[in-house]
Structure 1
Amino acid sequence: MGKRGPAAKPTSLRVLHGDRADRINHSEPVPPAQEITCPDWASDAARAIWDRLAPGLEQRGVLTAWDLDAFLILCEALARYRSATALVNGSALLVQGGSGLMRNPALQVQAEAERVFLQYAARFGLTPSDRQSIKVEVGGDQNQRGGPGRLLS
């Protein structure tokens, strides 16, 4: 069972909002400033998605060196979703199975990939509802993680 209640507010936002000092984790680990590159083992389809999304997330300090594996899972899930959608669009919703007509198995792959993508997309603020609670200032200021964006609220 996962954690209950709303997601915890990031420490940088707690500081900006003036939360009580005893509620701020002053020992929170901070990822090192490193070059962020797509892992070699990524599929070609996931690499194309990475190349499209990663620069903006890195620029705003959302994607760090510690997030590479989670972000690659997101990219691979979206690539699987696209492949499954192409299969579904090119065939029938019902296909002949061993005991007669059955749901196209690509529908299950598509649904699972969608669930994984949306779960990880929320972690990176890639959906409108997840973005609405975060504001970043893009410019020359450096946030505590060394990225060019600065979390505002």
Structure 2
Amino acid sequence: MGKRGPDPKPTALRILHGDRKDRINDEEPVPPTAEIESPDWASEQAREIWARLAPGLESRGVLTAWDTDAFLVLCEALARYRAATQLVNGSALLVQGGSGLMKNPALVVQAEAERTFLTYASRFGLTPSDRASIKVEVSDADTSKGAGRLLS
């Protein structure tokens, strides 16, 4: 059986909200502040996606040194999705198979890559509904894009 209920609040948020001391994990591991780079075994397409998405996530503290492998899975899944989409767009939805017409195998690859991407994207807050549940510190330079611009 899977995990039930909402995801737990981050420890820093529990402290800010004044949760009881016995509910706060004092020994939660903290990732080191190290330079975050794409692993050398990443495909060229995944490196392009990494270069586009990683800087924003890193600046917000969402992507840490411990997250690089999981984030690379996300980038590789999106790269596979792009490649499968190009194959589907360049061919028919049904292709000739051993026993007649069958679904284009690129559709299966595309669907699997989409599922993998969406699973990992939610972990990094890359979809609008997932961003709504993530709280990060925002610098003064970023307030011009949010509520601050509406109140000026």
Normalising by structure 1, we get a TM-score of 0.88
Q: Distance in 2 between matches of 1:109 and 1:133?
A: 30
Q: Which of 1 and 2 has higher RCO (CA within 8 Å, sep 6+)?
A: 1
In structure 2, the partner of 1:151 is none
In structure 2, the partner of 1:27 is 27
CA apart distance, 1:122:
0.5
CA apart distance, 1:136:
2.2
CA apart distance, 1:114:
0.4
In structure 1, the partner of 2:84 is 84
Q: Give identity over the alignment, percent.
A: 80
- Aligned pair 1:75/2:75, yes or no? yes
In structure 1, the partner of 2:147 is none
Q: Distance in 1 between matches of 2:6 and 2:46?
A: 30
For 1:20-51, what per-residue CA distance to the aligned partner results, in whole angstroms no more than 9, with x for missing partners?
A: 11111010000011000000000000000000
Count of aligned pairs between the two proteins: 140
Structure label with greater radius of gyration: 2
Q: Distance in 2 between matches of 1:84 and 1:91?
A: 11
Letter in 2 for 1:124: F
CA apart distance, 1:133:
1.6
For 1:73-115, what per-residue CA distance to the aligned partner results, in whole angstroms no more than 9, with x for missing partners?
A: 0000000000000000111110000000000000000000000
CA apart distance, 1:135:
2.8
Q: Distance in 1 between matches of 2:136 and 2:10?
A: 13
CA apart distance, 1:16:
1.7
RMSD: 1.1
Q: Which runs of 5+ in 1 are unaligned?
A: 141-153
In structure 2, the partner of 1:17 is 17
Q: Which runs of 5+ in 2 are unaligned?
A: 141-152
